[in-house]
């Protein structure tokens, strides 16, 4: 065992009083204002750069050369913070300014929002310049009340902690006071008491009708350097993700109700779709700005939050069992963005079966393939296991797991894999076994590649 420090978040459901909930909304509004203030400074600098480039192009300079020649500094958090202090004003002395009410809110609420604006701008710039892969990152947009999620983040001085658990049921946040918890903070309190956890910050956010607090801590843990005997005996498991069955496994796994090789997809969104449809219909019939519209919006948000909570709990149960039960977990490198792209096409070349593809996209996103891989990535590193990611172009569904022969004519409609060698097996289970075979070291099989080492994402 090697003792290491990792960042770990402990999420609690809050039970604030009416007065405290009003303060939480005020803090969320202040964070939203600070983000927009910092983003406005960046957009202004960007517009100035674009106008200078356009003026230089009009003189006959090529656009590419003009872009390289013109330099305009985009203000970052230190610059924005310094300018904000000079122009914020103070309602206590009657001094007018950008936000004279700043003293009513914890100053870290503003500073965290300034950092978030920096991150949004940096992510967009990295995507434009080709330094960021994955889903497209759009131009940063301003946050609007009622459209963006209510949230804020507060830091503190770790040597004089202001964010702390005063009891197992109460969390103290600077300037907000003690807020009651629905959950028990006993586990975190014991870590802090032993000196194994130091609170870094707290992020408060609203999901539906509830408020949550995510306490980020620097935790000292003992990470195993090798798998346990039980993990080594279980060996390797291949996982094929799908919509009909959420997981197909290369060997039976007990998730609490007996060993299974096929894990049914709970379809959390579909299970609540009727209630959600009625709530959205009721919302569409209300008048903008009315009190009933606000209640209808809260009802829709509550249902969406319920789906998210159920999905997260279910996935955490599955991924922890896989990470703690095997020394190697193998999955495919799925292109979820491409799988869930729209089939609408263009005006000249319209797509086909658009509604059916939209339903498939909804089912794939409800299954949360990306979240499953994300959880497996960090949990395998916590529990001494290894995550192997197989190349996305490997034909796991069209290859016989017994003899290795491929059937390129197999379509998505074929749910049973049949081979000339005599193998007749469920298509997904065959794919899971192929993923497990492909994850084996090359000398042991003579084909296949190990796609990643421990903890690769």
pLDDT in tens, 8-56: 999 999 999 999 999 999 999 999 999 999 999 999 999 999 999 999 9
**Residue 269: other Cβ atoms inside 10 A:** 19
pLDDT in tens, 56-101: 999 999 999 999 999 999 999 999 999 999 999 999 999 999 999 9
pLDDT recorded at residue 430: 94
pLDDT recorded at residue 32: 97
Give me the number of domains the chain comprises. Answer: 2
pLDDT in tens, 230-268: 999 999 999 999 999 999 999 999 998 889 999 999 999
d(C-alpha 311, C-alpha 303), whole Å? 12
Mark whether 213 and 234 lie in a shared domain.
no
Mark whether 82 and 173 lie in a shared domain.
yes
Region of 387 on the Ramachandran plot (φ > 0 left; ψ -120 to 50 alpha; else beta): beta
Last residue of a domain, one of 196, 223, 250: 223
Dihedral sign for Cα 240, 242, 247, 250, please.
Answer: negative
Q: Which domain holds residue 8?
A: 1-223
CB 451 within 8 A of CB 388: yes
From 23, 118, 240, 366, the catalytic residue = 240
Query: Which two tokens mark 85?
Result: 């202090």
Tell me if 455 is assigned to some domain: no
Q: Where are the alpha helices (DSSP H) in 204-335?
A: 229-234, 268-271, 273-284, 291-325
Last residue of a domain, one of 223, 247, 274: 223
Mark whether 240 and 217 lie in a shared domain.
no
Work out the average pLDDT over 121-132: 92
pLDDT recorded at residue 444: 41
pLDDT recorded at residue 448: 40
DSSP 181: B
Q: DSSP per residue over 260-296, as a string?
A: EEEEEP--HHHHTHHHHHHHHHHHHTSPTT-HHHHHH
pLDDT recorded at residue 256: 85
Mean pLDDT over all residues of the chain? 91
Catalytic residue status for 414? no
Beta bridge partners of 214: 11, 203
Mark whether 269 and 415 lie in a shared domain.
yes
DSSP 243: S
Stated pTM of the model = 0.86
From 23, 116, 118, 332, the catalytic residue = 332
Mark whether 114 and 199 lie in a shared domain.
yes
From 118, 428, 453, 456, the catalytic residue = 428
Query: Which two tokens mark 412?
Result: 């998505």
Last residue of a domain, one of 168, 197, 223: 223
How many angstroms from the chain centroid is the CA of residue 240? 21
109: exposed, middle or buried (Cβ count in 10 Å: 0-12, 13-18, 19+): buried
333: exposed, middle or buried (Cβ count in 10 Å: 0-12, 13-18, 19+): middle
Query: Which two tokens mark 384?
Result: 């001494």
Give the contacts of 234 (CB within 8 A, at least 6 positions apart).
325, 326, 327
Mark whether 54 and 148 lie in a shared domain.
yes
Catalytic residue status for 428? yes
Q: What percent of the chain has pLDDT over 90?
A: 77
Q: Is the pLDDT of residue 141 over 70?
A: yes
pLDDT in tens, 294-337: 999 999 999 999 999 999 999 999 999 999 999 999 999 998 88
Give 409's pLDDT tier (boundaries 50, 70, 90).
confident
Mark whether 61 and 20 lie in a shared domain.
yes
Please give the angle made by the CA atoms of 446, 448 and 453, to the nearest 5 degrees: 120
Mark whether 272 and 323 lie in a shared domain.
yes
Mark whether 175 and 247 lie in a shared domain.
no
């Amino acid at each position: 065992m090697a003792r290491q420090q990792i960042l770990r978040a402990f999420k609690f459901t809050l039970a604030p009083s009416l007065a405290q909930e009003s303060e939480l909304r005020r803090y969320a509004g202040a964070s939203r204002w600070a983000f927009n203030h910092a983003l406005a400074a960046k957009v202004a600098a960007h517009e100035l750069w674009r106008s200078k480039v356009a003026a230089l192009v009009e003189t006959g300079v090529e656009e590419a050369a003009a872009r390289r020649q013109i330099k305009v500094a985009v203000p970052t958090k230190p610059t924005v913070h310094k300018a904000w202090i000079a122009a914020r004003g103070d309602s206590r002395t009657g001094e007018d300014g950008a936000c004279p009410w700043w003293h009513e809110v914890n100053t870290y609420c503003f500073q965290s929002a300034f950092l978030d604006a920096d991150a949004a701008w940096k992510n967009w710039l990295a995507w434009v310049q080709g330094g960021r892969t994955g889903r497209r990152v759009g131009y940063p947009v301003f946050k609007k009340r009622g459209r963006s999620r209510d949230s804020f983040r507060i830091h503190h001085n770790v040597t004089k902690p202001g964010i702390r658990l005063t009891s197992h049921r109460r969390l103290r946040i600077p300037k907000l006071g003690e807020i009651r918890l629905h959950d028990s903070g006993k586990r975190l309190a014991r870590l802090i008491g032993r000196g194994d956890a130091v609170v870094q910050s707290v992020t408060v956010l609203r999901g539906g009708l509830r408020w949550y607090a995510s306490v980020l801590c620097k935790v000292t843990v003992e990470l195993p350097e090798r798998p346990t005997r039980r993990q080594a005996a279980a060996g390797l498991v291949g996982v094929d993700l799908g919509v009909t069955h959420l997981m197909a496994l290369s060997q039976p796994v007990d998730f609490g109700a007996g060993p299974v090789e096929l894990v049914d997809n709970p379809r959390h969104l579909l299970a609540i779709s009727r209630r959600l449809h009625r709530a959205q219909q009721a919302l569409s019939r209300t008048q903008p700005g009315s009190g009933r519209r606000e209640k209808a919006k809260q009802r829709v948000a509550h249902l969406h939050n319920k789906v998210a909570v159920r999905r997260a709990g279910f996935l955490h149960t599955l991924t922890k069992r896989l990470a703690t039960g095997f020394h190697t977990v193998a999955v495919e490198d799925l292109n979820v963005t491409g799988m869930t792209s729209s089939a609408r096409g263009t005006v000249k070349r319209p797509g086909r079966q658009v509604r059916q593809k939209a339903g498939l996209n909804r089912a794939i996103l409800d299954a949360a393939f990306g979240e499953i891989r994300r959880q497996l990535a960090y949990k395998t590193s916590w529990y001494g296991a290894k995550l192997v990611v197989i190349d996305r172009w490997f034909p796991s569904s069209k290859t016989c797991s017994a003899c290795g022969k491929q059937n390129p004519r197999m379509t998505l409609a074929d749910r049973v894999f049949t081979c000339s060698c005599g193998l007749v097996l469920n298509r997904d289970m065959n794919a899971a076994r192929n993923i497990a075979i492909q994850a084996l070291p090359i000398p042991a099989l003579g084909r296949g590649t190990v796609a990643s080492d421990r903890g690769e994402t």
